[in-house]
Amino acid sequence: MRGPRAADTTSGPSARHSRRRSRLGPFDRPAGALRVVVVLIALALALVQLPGCMRVGPDYESPLPDVPDVWSQELTEGLAEGEADLQTWWTTLDDPVLNSLILRATDGNRDLAIAAGRVREAQARYGIATGGRWPDIDGYGSFQREQLSGDFAPDPDDRVGDFYGTGLEASWELDFWGRIARQVESADASFAASVESYRDVLVLLYAELATAYVNLRTQQERLRYALANAEAQRQTLQLVGDRYKAGLVPSLDLRQAELNLATTESTVPIFRTSIAQAIHRMSILLGEPPGALRDELLEPLPIPDVPDTVLVGIPANLLRQRPDIRVAERELAAQTARIGVATAELYPSFHLPGSIGWEGLYESGSDLFTSGTSVWSLGAVFRWNIFSGGRIRNQIKVEDARTEQALAFYEKTVLEALGDFEDAIVAYAQENERQRALVRSVEAAQASVELARTLYRTGLTDFQTVLDMERSLFQQEDSLAESEGLVTANVVRIYRALGGGWGAPPEPEAEGAELEEPDEGEAER
C-alpha cells in the first residue's frame, strides 16, 4: 500500500504534522536535538548540586536523659567499676563448649537472619528516598495507523497513514522546602535503627544461649545430687530392711525409708525433662532441629564458674552500649524528620518538566529519524494546595504527636535499662551471699547424716533423725546446685543489661552501606 503523499497535500496528516512542526520549532539535523539534550544534562548537573533552599520542620537534637553518675546499688564483693570486656563477655566464663555454641549461633540463628533482612530492607528504603533527589526520566514510543475523514483528505490515498513518535520525558522536583531532604534524613535514621536492632538481637541471642547453657549444666548438677542421694537412701533402706528382718525395728521405719527413697527418685524425671528442654532450646537458637545437640551436650559438665571480679562501668555507658537505647534514639530522629516532610506540604512544590523526541509519518524504506521531526519542550510548573479541609495541618499534628510518643519511649527505654542493670547486680550480690551460706549448710548436713546413721546403727537415736538428716542433705545440695547456676546466670544477666556482645561478630552484609557506630545525636551521616 502506498503511503500518504505528504509533500503534495495541504490538509490531512501531513498538513497537521507540518503545522505542529512549525509551532514547536524544527531542527534541520539531529544535532539540533542533541544540543537540547546537552542543555538538559547541563541544567541537571547544575541543579543536583543545589541543596534545598531551606528545610521546614524542626532540626533534630539528641535528647539528654537524666542518668545518675553512679549506681544506686552498692557494688559489693565481686563487682567493681571499670571498663568491662563486653564484646566477648562469654569468654570470662572460661567454657570452651559455650564459646563454640556462641560462634555457631551467629551463623545459624533465624532471628538474626530476620534482623539482617530488615537491615537490607531499610537500606533499600534509604535508596528509594535518595532517588527523590534526581529527575524521573521515562522513555516512550508509539506507532499508530489512522484513517482520516474525507473532509481533511479528499484523496483516498491520503486518508490512511502510519504515525510514530519516540523520545524521552523527564520531570524533576526542586527540593525548595527540604521535603526530599527530610525524607532522606528520616530514611537514614531508620536504616541506622535497623542496624541497632540487629545488634540488639545479638545481645539477646548470646544472653539467652548462655542462660540456657548454664541452666543445662545446673539441671545436670541437680540430677547428679539426686542420683547420689537416691543411692545413699537405698543403702539406708537396705540397712533398715536387715534390721527389720532381725526384729530390731518396727515396720514403720521400713515404710518411712521407702517413702524417703521414692520421694527423691521422683525428682529425677523432672531434672531429665529440664535437661532435654534446655538442649532443645539451644538447638533451635543455633538454627538446628531440637535434638541436634543431644549427643554433644548430654554428657554432664560443671557449671561455668564466674570471674573473681565483674567490671560494670558507669551508668552513662548504657547510652552508648545498649542497642535498644540506640534503636529508640534513631527512631526518634527518624520521626522528627517526618514532621518536616508533612510541613513541606503547606508550601508550593516546583517541578521542571521536559521532553525530547521525534514524531512523523513513516514511509517504507525511509530513515526513522530523518523522515520525522524532532520535538522538545522545557518548562516550569508549581503546585500549591490552597485548600485541603485541614488535612495537611492535622497530618503535621499527627507527626508531632508521634514524635512526642517516640521521645517518651526513648526515655522509658533508658529508665528500663537502668532498672535492668540495678536488678541484675542486686540479684548477683544477694545470690553470692546465699551460695556461701548454702555451702556451709551442705557441709553441716553431710556431717549430720553420717553422725545420724552411726548413732542409728548403734541404737542411740531413732530412725526419724536419720530421715530428717537425709531429706535436709538432699534439699541443701539441690539448693546449692541451683544457687551456683543462678550466680553464673546473674553474671550473664549483668552483661546483657550492659548491652554486651554486639561488636564481636561480623555485622550483616548490606551492599553500599556502612554499619559503623553512628555518632550520638547525629541526624545525617
pLDDT of residue 149: 65
pLDDT of residue 414: 94
Tell me the three cell numbers of residue 127.
535508596
Q: 268-277 pLDDT, tens per residue?
A: 999 999 999 9
Alpha-carbon distance of 512 to 358, in angstroms, equals: 38
Residue 386: how many CB atoms within 10 A of its CB?
5
Domain residue ranges of the chain, discontinuous segments joined by +:
6-58+65-498
DSSP string, 204-259: HHHHHHHHHHHHHHHHHHHHHHHHHHHHHHHHHHHHHHHHHHTTSS-HHHHHHHHH
With the CA atoms of 522, 200, 128 and 331 taken in that order, what torsion angle do they form, in degrees rounded to the nearest 10? Answer: -50
What type of residue sits at position 289?
P
Extract long-range pairs of 237-244: CB within 8 Å, 24+ residues apart.
Answer: 237/261, 239/453, 239/456, 239/457, 240/463
User: How are beta strands 381-383 and 136-147 bridged, if at all?
Assistant: unpaired
CA 140 to chain centroid: 42
Alpha-carbon distance of 329 to 332, in angstroms, equals: 5
CATH of 6-58+65-498, one of 3.30.70.20, 3.90.1150.10, 1.20.1600.10, 3.30.450.80: 1.20.1600.10
pLDDT of residue 165: 84
Tell me the three cell numbers of residue 278.
534446655
Tell me the three cell numbers of residue 172.
524533576
Location of C-alpha cell 554499619 = 515
> If residue 147 lies in a helix (H) or strand (E), which one and from where to where?
strand 136-147
pLDDT of residue 1: 37
For 109, what's the count of Cα atoms within 13 Å in the CB-facing half-sphere?
24
Alpha-carbon distance of 240 to 463, in angstroms, equals: 9
pLDDT of residue 441: 96
User: Contact, 45 vs 332, CB < 8 A?
Assistant: no
pLDDT of residue 450: 93
Alpha-carbon distance of 12 to 158, in angstroms, equals: 7
Q: 367-409 pLDDT, tens per residue?
A: 555 566 888 888 888 899 888 889 999 999 999 999 999 999 9
Which of 191, 193, 180, 189 is closest to 341 using CA atoms?
180
- How many helices (H) does the chain have, and how many strands (E)? 13, 7
pLDDT of residue 380: 87
Q: Would you give per-residue pLDDT tens digits along the chain (525 residues)?
A: 334 333 343 444 444 443 333 333 434 444 554 555 555 555 555 554 454 457 898 999 999 888 877 777 677 777 777 777 788 899 999 999 999 999 999 899 999 999 999 999 999 999 999 998 898 999 988 888 776 666 655 666 666 667 778 889 999 888 889 899 999 999 999 999 999 999 999 999 999 999 999 999 999 999 999 999 999 999 999 999 998 998 888 999 999 999 999 999 999 999 999 999 999 999 999 999 998 999 999 999 999 998 888 877 777 888 888 999 999 999 999 999 999 999 999 999 988 898 888 887 766 555 555 566 888 888 888 899 888 889 999 999 999 999 999 999 999 999 999 999 989 999 998 999 999 999 999 999 999 999 999 998 888 889 899 999 999 999 999 999 999 999 999 999 999 999 988 875 455 554 444 444 444 343 333
